[in-house]
Structure 1
Amino acid sequence: MFRDKASLWMYVIVALASLGAVLPLAWLFLLSLDPTQGVAGSSASFSLRNYAAVLFESLMGQYFLNTTIVAVLTVICTLTSACLGAYAASRFRFRGREAAMVGLLIASMTPVIAVLVPLYAYAAKIQMLNTYQVLIIVFTAWQLPGTLWLLRSFLDAIPVELEEAALVDGCSRAGAFIRIVLPQLLPGLIAAGLIVFVYVWNEFIIAVSLAAKQDMRLVSVGLYFYLSDFGIEWGKIAAGAIISIVPPAILFFLLQRHLIHGLSAGAVK
């Protein structure tokens, strides 16, 4: 009896939480169809004018391209570095290993605003402001510790005996890693890659500070500039926000099984 009531309340809580997540998106979608630019969405007519303006009368297409390039390259750099680092932390025993891992994790907890001024000053000094390179380097550095810890949990769950058997059969260490470890690490790589991609896609503070030039803005920064001195273009902001949600949503829909399997598998050793 108690278990049935607990299950019922759990369903109610999940339903309310889902409703709380969906209602703002529904309001945002209705606002994007309102041609009057009213924040209350009071117009009885609906139009795709805001979507047309965002897609064809602004630089939002360039912002999407910039964000895609930065996000994809950041995912590649982060996964490559984290995969090698996690393999070393999982398979090799050396002095200071755990201290180094904990130090990386603590460093990642530093607020972005605390290091933003030194990052900006250093990027300006080496003339890397408003470039893809500075964004990719900073985003990779910021996401590397968490990704490394996640992939290490996967590697710890892969039996070392499989690699040892491959080494006995004549594989090199690199060959055993590529042929034995990577296929079993794939769910973790997909989960970590999706997390990094979504982070880069939504990041604002770093993007607006290091790439404020008009043709180098990311999507999140481009949406911000609909707040002008002449007023707030609510309809265009809403339309841009809805469009910006689409790529991560599609990726999540396509990779949700791998994401759930990857996160759950990494939690069980």
Structure 2
Amino acid sequence: MEKDDIAVIDFLGKTNGEPFKGGEGKDYSLEIGSGSFIEGFEDQIIGMTINETRDIQVTFPNSYQSEELAGKEATFTVTVKEIKRKELAPLDDEFAKDVSEFDTLQELKDDIKNKLIQAAESRAKFMLRRELLDKAVDNAVAEIPDSMIEQQTREMFKNIGDNFARQGLSVEDYLNYNKSSIEKMKEDMRPEAERNVKTSLVMESIGKAEGITATEEEIQAEIEKIASAYRQDPEEFRKTIESEGSLDFIKDNIVKEKTFQFLVDNAKIIEDTNVETAE
């Protein structure tokens, strides 16, 4: 048995010669060196062989969660039933065939490289868009009706509640845990809600001022893209979203995307030349 091996073990723990609750396990897989067990337990398994049984002496830490065991010495009788060893597969064409759709390792490497480049470009594009939009919103002067901010706050609160529900929790649980209230939570949300409303108004104003619209061709292309992702017939998918009144949502997203692109295309990027160079 060596460090990083995975040992399949049976164990029985005792304090003062008596078994204790939670101290027994059968066919337990333990990675040696993972620190999953009490300090010193895994170190004493190193060197054991299959079918070997050994008594291991450990001391529970004073901060152990069980007060009955905290600070006590214990003896674990451990039997090794199986030893598994991690082995790295050679990086060759056979490896590439096993883990991907490519026939050669070079093809796999090229694919990984291209995906990393695409991911970096996507992140850079996202960061640029966000910075440009932030600048546009910061420079805009707008009087936002309280009703719009309150509506946005309600929507944000509902989304949080839905997210908690998917995790089997409730807003009440969260509020109780943080000793807060619905009123305080909504009050804390208000600055973000106001910013969201202002951002939407700025984007809408830019789109209208520049005459940015969604063409029928763009709408149909987006519908076909979404339908393909859900493996649905585009015509049937369009009928469904039209009947549900969701077509405007697609139009709005197209206009939003084109407005973002307008900001990027018309931005004046000034490079910072005031950078110290190492001599």
Query: Taking structure 2 as the reference length, what is the TM-score of the superposition?
Result: 0.22
* Structure with more helix by fraction: 1
* Structure with more strand by fraction: 2
